[in-house]
Amino acid sequence: MSTLWPGTFLDEERLGRPSRRAATAALEAHLSVLKGDPLKAALANALKDAEGLGGQERRFTALAVRELSRHQRLLDLAARTLGHPPGKIGLLEDQTLVRYVLWRRLFCGASWARIGPEVKLPGPVRPRTIKDDLLARMVESPLPEPSMPESVPERLATRYSFPNWLVNRLAELHPEPVLEAMLAALDEEPSLHFRARPSGTRAEVLARLVEEGVAAEPVDVAPDAVRIAEASHRVFETRVMKEGRLQVQDVGSQLIVEACRPLEGSLSGRTVADVCAGAGGKTLALADEVGKAGRVLAGDRSRRRLAQARERARELSLRHVSFPHPLPLEQADVVLVDAPCSGTGSLAREPDQKWKLTAKSVEEFHDTQLGLLEELAGQVKPGGLVVYATCSLLPEENDAVVRDFLARMPDFTVEPLAPLFGPERAVVLCDGPFLRALPSRVPGGGFFAARLRKGQPRQD
């Protein structure tokens, strides 16, 4: 890594259409993020309040909001290098403006002639103390190369805009080339991934997408995964989408569902409990796996998210999906626990979270995850399978949770996942007995899964 500054610019097709109204919405959303709102909520509110934004402008706004959080540390370094450290920029509104114009310069290759109309006074955010000529100088002045941090982890943390504590922790686990590839993958805008339905029909679905003019390609590491290879969202208007043959789902999420399958045979006719169903992405995939002869029992502590899962199951007429409370886990052959976690494997999609996470919060997640597994262990029937999964890259939430659980629940054992994926995919996906999908190797984020089998009772 010879320079800290990016060497390429965002593709204009993926960028959308910059405009003053789009910039205003992006700045308002980033300001809300800095005040503590989740990025998704801040963006949704900004787009709702913005009037007259076209589809391309909305795409630009959404990308810009994520990018301002994604590259926050590097943008602040650029401001310091130009003589305007964030600490001397008093108002949050001013900080958002500085980050925005530097992002347009460094990551979009835009000149002041293009950026100026988007941010010149009056507005686009108020109050404001920075004048237009200062912003213009930030865009037009030469940007020297800053001195490189001495340690490799800090250098990577600066270049890819991550907190030092997180990169230092990951550096303990991975050599420099793997670490940099992971950070680079988490630093990019993620592609749109789908699952072809029903399983085994991916080739047909891809052919139909091509017929409808949508560029798509298979993802090798997951048998039903499809990547949309263009920025347009036309895929949502296709016949194949409206017929329910495609479901938005990350590749790693699809692999976790695959980890629920028997080592031999299929899930057809089985009963699966999805304990942390959320909005129902894995619930729907499991419903396809078990078929109409099987059952999926779904639950979640968030009523709002579970309501989304109910609606999605209803839209697809999946009558073998139910939402009993409490979940009768003793009836399930497989219990999926996609546990609440730090989300470090999903930072490409939710970049604001990397500035909100702390080492202490990771420890708290470990305790929550372990407690959740212990709580349900007694309800799992003998011979039943528990699949524990997270979208975390940290062993405190993955290996350590499994280790501590087995120490407290000796009637459970770990089943290796490699035989399920086969030798070729296992090389990429498995680390010891576990699924460990790293962002540099699996598109769409990082995921972990372990299979925990409950033993049969002893016959004395």
Please say whether the dihedral angle defined by the alpha carbons of residues 421, 424, 428 and 432, taken in this order, is positive or negative.
positive
Distance CA 389, CA 398 (A): 8
Q: Which residues pair with 434 in a beta bridge?
A: 431
Q: Provide the 8-state DSSP code for 381.
A: P
Choice among 260, 341, 391, 430 that is catalytic: 391
80: Cβ contacts below 8 Å, ≥ 6 apart: 86, 146
Q: Which residue has the tokens 């086969």?
A: 422
Rg (CA), the chain: 24
Distance CA 120, CA 359 (A): 40
Is 391 annotated as catalytic?
Answer: yes
Distance CA 281, CA 253 (A): 8
Output the six-digit token pair for 314. Answer: 């209803």
Distance CA 251, CA 111 (A): 37
Q: Which of 15, 59, 14, 62 is nearest to 42 (CA)?
A: 62
Secondary structure (3-state) at 246: strand
413: region left, alpha or beta (phi > 0 left; psi from -120 to 50 alpha): beta
Which sequence positions are flagged as catalytic?
A: 391
